[in-house]
Structure 1
């Protein structure tokens, strides 16, 4: 059996833009509250709320919108007008309709990879939203399997690899998040290729496993095939 038979890929900020739109919404949130609070750490208060609420709402636009409302109420001692709350909710809804922009090299990279490997998508977040983005991206046909999960951990990858691959020894995970895509996939026994994105939520950051023999870092998706070749050439 070849060393690598399956390539698993993350979606948000690996295949298409995502964090960019959250940053725009975050700025809109700050603009809406400018008249009602002057606290210097408003953005951090929002991110703290989003992180705190992950166990209730999970990842995605809906949880972000609810956390914006919660933060607006907290930092204004519940004095923020209902009209502003309505605008905050509207900004959250817009996150569910932003245009899908595939990142550079993605289309050609998937065509190249599909010719040699079985491709599966492993993404986390709200099922409705992730399905919408995948359909709008036009990339769905590349994938033999699609897994939308609540979170990504070692146990998540063990389950996915058992279900869809010949095992972690024959699987590579590709993604932009060290915390969600790289570290737990390595812990599950797979190979991993890190494709950094210019905008990465602090929650998704982790120490880069530079000394791990099954880890590689590339500049963009166009370099994934070369990284796979290096894995396959390992003794």
Structure 2
């Protein structure tokens, strides 16, 4: 019997492994470096706006974040930011790129339970080299049938990826922590969207919970295999 669900896509950052916590720690370090020039709330708002402006040029990930921090530091100091501060911002970015991978609870068990029964994909945004390194270090790479590292996640992104596979979007499930990037656009494309919330969410990833029959939510990945079985 052909399964109703044939493809399962997984987001990577903050779905399979921790990511946003390192951005938060670095942003705290950034605020300490510039404490004499801006209040924390104002600095955070200006950095977020810089990130929003720069996504089209730098994309998602650590490198764009570091460039946005440097740009914000120049702005709040009116061009007088000391060279050693720039150096510390760059060092913080290098620390983020080198940080070891920490899997989220139940991530390995969930992927192992579904591997071999469904076509599994990693579908993630971010810097190509960094995301490839993280997947390799995670130890999960061999369990997936494919990896899609995309510049953004929109309905047409999921329609293209799932549409090239048996059953199309209607036979696909997208699992992720972001309503804006992982769940809502996948549902618009015709797939199931499974939201697995993370405690930390980047300011540009907030979105509303959909009122849709193809929406599901889990507290963690521990119940994913059982949920997929109900969709089959």
TM-score, normalized by length of structure 1? 0.95
Which residue of the partner structure matches residue 182 of structure 1? 183
Which residue of the partner structure matches residue 170 of structure 2? 169
Q: Distance in 2 between matches of 1:153 and 1:115?
A: 27
Q: Distance in 1 between matches of 2:65 and 2:183?
A: 24
Task: Output one character per residue of 1:3-45: Cα deviation in whole Å (capped at 9) or x when no partner.
Answer: 1111111000000000000000000101111234446411111
Pairing 1:1-235 to 2, within 5 Å after superposition: 1-38=2-39, 40-209=41-210, 211-232=211-232
Q: Distance in 2 between matches of 1:208 and 1:229?
A: 23
Does the 8 A contact of 1:145 with 1:164 survive in 2? Answer: no
TM-score, normalized by length of structure 2? 0.96
Q: Any idea what SS the aligned residue of 2:164 has?
A: helix
Q: Distance in 2 between matches of 1:142 and 1:2?
A: 19
Structure 2 gaps, min length 5 = none
Q: Distance in 1 between matches of 2:12 and 2:41?
A: 33
Measured at CA, do residues 169 and 18 of structure 1 come closer, stay the same or move farther in structure 2, by a change above 3 Å? same
Q: For residue 230 of structure 1, report the CA deviation from its aligned partner.
A: 2.4
Q: Is the deviation greater in 122-131 or in 106-115?
A: 106-115
Q: For residue 116 of structure 1, report the CA deviation from its aligned partner.
A: 2.0
Q: CA RMSD in A?
A: 1.2
Q: Distance in 2 between matches of 1:111 and 1:175?
A: 17
Q: Any idea what SS the aligned residue of 2:78 has?
A: coil
Structure 1 gaps, min length 5 = none
Does the 8 A contact of 2:7 with 2:162 survive in 1? Answer: no
Q: For residue 164 of structure 1, report the CA deviation from its aligned partner.
A: 3.7
Q: Distance in 1 between matches of 2:225 and 2:68?
A: 39
Q: Distance in 2 between matches of 1:87 and 1:66?
A: 13
Aligned length: 231
Does the 8 A contact of 2:192 with 2:214 survive in 1? Answer: yes
Q: Distance in 2 between matches of 1:159 and 1:94?
A: 35
